[in-house]
Amino acid sequence: TAEVIDALHILDGYGSLKISDAERMFRDAKLTQIFEGTNQIQRLVISRQVLKEWI
């Protein structure tokens, strides 16, 4: 996602147009992040699973 944000900054106004590939990639990256959950939630889920295996 950070790379796509950088691309939008480089492209300035054009990057936010609906016709640009950068806009589509940003939209897809954000949708994936929302669908999968935040990084913190994913870490919590993984750490709980690891702890269950050790306890």
Active site residues: 36
The H-or-E segment that residue 4 falls in is helix 2-11
Q: How many CA atoms lie within 13 A of 15 on its CB side?
A: 14
CA 51-46-52 angle, 5° bins: 20
